[in-house]
Chains A and B, each alone.
Chain A
């Protein structure tokens, strides 16, 4: 009798404690995911009656060149951002890993400072630095004898200019994760390699990099997801332009939904984007996991 009471009491307490979060997750994540699929099967401008169109929106997406162009730009952005953030963060972590703990902490904090800066503020700082007429970057280039560049105003340079801002914002964050991973590797692995006369490059490729496998996977996947989500920098620096040079997918969806009021159609684009991100994450996970020796 006591025992069943105790069990019931524990069950009730558990669900009492879980209740607020379960309710909020249901209302603001679970139902919206289902709702997103539901909306994607309708034509709706946010005001009038919803019209059921079945898979019509998806058929339309298939032929929508503007949409696929924006997906292409997101891919291009990801292909520039992810390898760069990975390589730079790893290089910085390696550089710091042999220094004394106090110096490591100091530089770690300094590299981490841009993490505190919002996407909007970062965008304006860099937009100011990129100013084509006599911004700091063009002045610095002039000092080196390089002609001034258009940066955000050029269809060729705009996307990479946005990538540079994102790199500046996130590299310190990723560096800290790499550094924690590197410092977790037991010192005796390196000692054994040194006895065998291994050089630093060998040590990196034979010990550090393979043992960082979980960190590598984590950084690659989170950075890829993040780069498909980029919005603030695009909205504040280029507004998708010039032309549609920086019209990344989330920005395209935002405009279709909240400027053109194509709610049903943009919900279906968001759903397709979700599938693309999911497939890329799973691919990365499988390829990298199976590369284990």
Chain B
């Protein structure tokens, strides 16, 4: 018994050491952003006076607020439309009988195999043809469809017992009505898990917004930060502070929904 408890204390010590290693980069990011700009390369956590000087510099720049706003619009629109559309599609695939169901389902799954790098160039051409180049809509639309999201909604709706649906059908409710009034409210947990991960993915997305957006006023936060390194030739204080502001909404989201996110990740492992 005693050796077992010594063992688990040792394990916890090892786990803590690894946790420190995982968190140190983030801690150093925050501590560096709170140093006076000329002391960023003064290493150490508490050897400089704390100041929000660099935050004032970054937030004063009105374009920075604009970049954050653009990212909110893009990530928010993709998340809300994706949740609604995938819930609809997942419901149809799980609970309705229709002609071509298996073919439609396999076709949707097959789109999962295609890596984004293959789509990137033709997508650019398509978005250009639609006149959506250099618009937020051009960033948003291609990132709504997501076979895996449809698949997870389907799995979720397959697991719901059919009594509710049958009772409602006898009462003369329409199919859309049953979906809207019975199934949609039941799917709150999967909505939160997928919604949080869609939002994070789109907030953090870089390559596609980089390709589509030329006009600075439309830049998303990731594109803007990436451009900082040329504009301020590695003014670390400014770059790191901008990084802290950029991850703040996601970190808040992460800690509020951490349990849902973890459940969502576990789902992805089951195949």
Contact = CB atoms under 8 A, between A and B. Distances in A.
A58 interface: no
Given A24-B85, A218-B271, A258-B211, A113 B23 contact: yes
B141 interface: yes
Interface stretch (A61-69, A101-109, A154-162, A186-194): A101-109
A107 B120 CA distance: 37
Given A25-B145, A118-B203, A120-B222, A14 B98 contact: yes
Given A116-B200, A121-B246, A277 B115 contact: yes
Nearest to A15: B98
Interface string A109-132: 111111111111110111011010
Interface string A196-239: 00000000000000000011001000000100110110011000
A113 B113 contact: no
A271 B115 CA distance: 10
Given A20-B85, A28-B142, A218-B269, A113 B119 contact: no
Contact of A176 (B124, B254, B265): B265
Contact of A273 (B18, B117, B240): B117
Given A9-B175, A21-B150, A25-B147, A125 B126 contact: no
A229 B115 contact: yes
B57 interface: no
B89 interface: yes
* Interface size class, chain A: 35 or more
Interface in A260-293: 263, 266-267, 270-271, 273-274, 277-278, 281
Given A21-B145, A28-B142, A28-B145, A118 B22 contact: no
B145 A99 contact: no
Interface string A133-148: 1101001000000000
B43 A134 contact: yes
Interface string A24-49: 11011111110110110000000000
B80 interface: no
A229 B114 CA distance: 11
A229 B270 CA distance: 23
B190 interface: no
A117 B26 contact: yes
A112 B85 CA distance: 28
A263 B128 CA distance: 13
Contacts of A14: 92, 96-98, 101
23 contacts: A14-B101, A17-B179, A25-B147, A27-B141, A31-B122, A92-B18, A96-B15, A107-B16, A112-B258, A113-B254, A128-B239, A168-B25, A173-B265, A177-B266, A177-B268, A180-B265, A225-B115, A228-B115, A236-B226, A236-B229, A258-B211, A267-B122, A271-B118
Interface of B: 8, 11-12, 14-16, 18-19, 22-23, 25-26, 28-29, 32, 41, 43, 81, 85-86, 88-89, 91-93, 96-99, 101, 104, 108, 111, 113-126, 141-142, 144-145, 147, 150, 174-176, 179, 200, 203-204, 206-207, 211, 222, 225-226, 229, 236, 239-240, 243, 246-247, 250-251, 253-254, 258, 261-262, 265-266, 268-271
